[in-house]
A = this chain, B = another copy of it.
């Protein structure tokens, strides 16, 4: 039986039979996800649920296509005859993440076990297009992803849109995205209309939040399989034209009181700096964003600035120049790294993360940015040894937000397995 997390302030929650059953389905499904294939008897012993209940819960989860029968349990000696293992299935259940950013669109579909079913990214000069035009193009990419899910006999559990701005999750509205030039766009309603009001839910979230969730999930899995100490608190920095922050504390995403947390790009760290997309002066992203790097490293007619280039092509060229020892490029990278450390140290002093994750373009150029960043953290963080914070480059790169978006849709299924219909073809609303 799952107990209340029992921290001060936890709600005192009463349950009826339906919510108790739903909770227990979730407990069993998450148990198998986290701990791997195991027998019904083992699940009963581990969770404190009785064996008959576990058998009934497993049967329902198999019915819903979320678990499947696995191999026979290895011989267990004195503990009796071997049982049948059950394992995570969910190949038929997919979450879709779809991102709008300043210079690209991206879509990914993941199945319940975390396998990638399809992914695409296309360069697009979003800041110079009408929101409707961009949403049309993204809808087309989402439809392709949903078709790919259907083609493998699966169902879509939900679509999550990732946007680089302030999101009001409750209404599905993007309040403000300075670097896109978008204000008050009801992105969920607009997308649902373009997708023909689908049966699956459509959500929207801040791209840095979603990237942080994806990075957290990846690091947690990696730490567990390596037997490392727990990673429960991370700060992820998304480096693009703008800079966003996504924060996970104690395993939970920090959204703030109204969902507007993580606006780290606008810390006023460079009073003598340039004008920001937000209209203010000296914001952090004016000294560490991709535009700042390009301005420092290249002339205005440098081909690397061609807007039709994908961001990865652009970064490949910067990398080539840095590896060739280009003095101007290396100076620009060192400068960005130092500024990254000045703002990074503020975040580490405030939040004391286990890990500061470099995402987006910071991850790609990490080999040059990491040293000045780590120096600044050692020098400027008041806790000894940077408060124990490690700096790592995300392995997910620009795919982090879409993966996080897909995961959020799948997380809903882990929390409430009854969202997936008992007939494998349809998702209950």
Q: Is A193 in the interface zone, CB < 8 Å from B? A: no
Stretch of A81-89, A252-260, A326-334 with 4 or more beta carbons under 8 angstroms from chain B: A252-260
Known contacts A15-B3, A27-B4, A176-B382; A257 and B233 CB within 8 A of each other: yes
Tell me which of B47, B252, B352, B383 contacts A250 (CB under 8 A): B252
Q: Which residues of B contact A79 (CB under 8 A)?
A: none
Tell me whether A346 and B30 are in contact in the complex, defined as CB-CB below 8 angstroms, given that A10-B5, A16-B48, A387-B260 are known contacts.
Answer: no
Residue-wise, chain A 7-40 has the 8 Å CB interface mask toward B (1 for contact) of 1111111111001100100110011001000000
Q: Is A347 an interface residue (CB 8 A)?
A: yes
A378: chain B residues within 8 A (beta carbon): none
- Find out whether the CB atom of A23 lies under 8 angstroms from the CB atom of B6: yes
Q: Distance in Å from the Cβ of A383 to the closest Cβ of chain B?
A: 4
Given that A233-B257, A261-B352 are contacting pairs, would A267 and B389 also be in contact in the complex, using a CB cutoff of 8 Å?
no
Check: A351 CB closer than 8 A to any chain B CB.
Answer: yes
Residue of B nearest to A415 (CB): B6
Is A166 in contact with B382, judged by CB distance below 8 angstroms?
yes
Instruction: Please measure, in the bound complex, the distance between the C-alpha atom of A271 and the C-alpha atom of B273, giving whole angstroms.
Output: 14
Residues on the B chain within 8 Å of A19, using CB? 3
B residues less than 8 Å from A261 (CB atoms): 350-352
Query: Could you tell me the distance between the alpha carbons of A20 and B6 in the complex, rounded to whole angstroms?
Result: 12
Chain B residues whose CB sits within 8 angstroms of the CB of A8 once the complex forms: 213, 252, 408, 411, 414-415
Contact for A384 among B3, B175, B411, CB less than 8 A: B175
| Closest beta carbon of chain B to A90's beta carbon, Å | 15
How far, in Å, is A349 (CB) from chain B's closest CB?
4
Pick the contact of A3: B20, B48, B259, B347 (CB < 8 A): B20
Nearest-neighbour CB distance to chain B for A281, whole angstroms, equals 11
A147 within 8 A of B: no
CB-contacts of A330-364 with B (<8 A)? 342, 345-347, 349-355
The CA-CA distance from A280 to B345 in the complex, in Å, is 13
Interchain CB contact under 8 A, A267 and B232: no
Q: Are B254 and A351 in contact (CB under 8 A)?
A: yes
Contact A349–B10 (Cβ < 8 Å): no
The answer, yes or no, to whether A293 is at the interface (CB within 8 Å) is no
Q: Which residue of B lies closest to A254 (CB)?
A: B249
User: Would B15 and A268 count as touching, CB distance under 8 A?
Assistant: no
By a CB distance below 8 angstroms, the chain B residues around A388 are 257-258, 260
Point out the residues of chain B lying under 8 angstroms from A130, CB to CB: none
Within 8 A of B (CB), among A288-337: none
**B residues near A20, Cβ cutoff 8 Å:** 1, 3, 48
Q: A73 on the interface (CB 8 Å rule)? A: no
Within the complex, the shortest CB–CB distance from A34 to chain B, in Å, comes to 6
User: What's the least CB distance linking A107 to chain B, in Å?
Assistant: 22
Which B-chain residue is minimally distant from A26 (CB atoms)?
B6
Q: Is A181 an interface residue (CB 8 A)?
A: no
Q: Could you pull out 15 A-B pairs where Cβ atoms are within 8 angstroms?
A: A4-B5, A4-B23, A5-B5, A6-B23, A8-B415, A9-B251, A10-B251, A12-B34, A20-B48, A231-B257, A256-B352, A257-B352, A262-B352, A268-B380, A280-B379
Extra A-B contacts (20), CB below 8 Å, given A258-B352, A263-B381:
A1-B20, A2-B3, A2-B10, A4-B4, A12-B27, A12-B30, A12-B31, A175-B384, A176-B383, A231-B257, A233-B256, A255-B352, A256-B387, A257-B387, A260-B387, A262-B350, A264-B349, A267-B346, A346-B346, A347-B350
